[in-house]
Amino acid sequence: MMADELEFHRWLRARAEIGDGVDVSIGDDGAVCALPNGTRMVLVADAIAEGSHFLSDDPPELVGRKALARNLSDIAAMGAVPLYALATAALRRGCPDDVPRRITTGMLELAREFGVRLVGGDTVSHDGGTVLSVTVVGCIAPGAAILRSGARPGDVVVVSGRLGGSFPHRHLRFTPRVAEARTLLDLGPPSAMMDLSDGMALDLKRLCEASGVGADIDAASIPVHGDVDPGPETLRHALEDGEDYELLFTIAPEKWEIVKAAWPHEVPLTAVGRVTSGALRLVSGGGLGVPWPRGGHVHT
């Protein structure tokens, strides 16, 4: 069995190639590479697998939609504009002929919604479950990409939308926060940003490690989705369930005031804490800080 995902990512980052047209490589939500005219393209790639990210009886249209939406969420986290997509499908051998058509229909409907063109890909058959892999290419101005590594002590920690309870249905129907991210770029920009795919407990830890900082997060401020059952486990679900695909970002306090005053979207933004130079902590109403939860979704 492969080492856990975090350890594998550390191994990859140590071998990432930077320079000669590669501004950002392995370790962020997307890679940033230079084109000959100076424009930067942002490249993201993601895969979903039957049994881990969707079930065999989920509608194929929604499975295809999710495969593309996850990539659009990564593009949003970089502050980029999505342009083109490539899709590859490893289909269960003997699957009905309409399945790949229905998967593609779901991708195309979402692609049209976000102005993305599906320009190619590949299909194969195998003896395992269905696996879909999508690559999206976007663009952004030189130096404008929002990375995970820019958070500074004193910054406000903010999340979009609400968290928790993504399964069994919402994880197939989420809306990538592309427009919201572009607005943040115009009004802020944030100092650091990523999308919440593996749960805030794990993803905020990744952002803090990339930036070399900690944070104090107010437990009572974390916005919980309405379909999470109230009770003692509510906060754990919000922090650890994953598959929320909301934006997590840090921003200087004065810029946060500008964003709050001018925010045009229905999707709410919630300040949940502050970046510090210390450890990452969860703070209760009485001001008592406890170690950050170790949960979240780690691939093995």
Q: What domains are defined for the chain?
A: 5-140 (3.30.1330.10), 156-291 (3.90.650.10)
pLDDT digits (tens, 9 = 90+) for 95-148: 998 999 999 999 999 999 999 999 888 999 999 999 999 999 999 999 999 999
DSSP 124-174: EEESS--EEEEEEEEEE-TT----TT---TTPEEEEES-BS--TTTGGGT-
| Distance, C-alpha 56 to centroid of its chain | 24
* Side-chain-side CA neighbours of residue 218 (13 Å): 15
- Give the pTM: 0.89
pLDDT digits (tens, 9 = 90+) for 193-250: 999 999 999 999 999 999 999 999 999 999 999 989 888 899 999 999 999 999 999 9
Tell me if residue 50 falls in helix, strand or coil.
Answer: strand
Q: How many of the other CB atoms lie within 10 Å of CB of 278?
A: 12
**C-alpha to C-alpha distance for 4 and 215, rounded to whole angstroms:** 25
Check whether 1 has a pLDDT greater than 60.
no
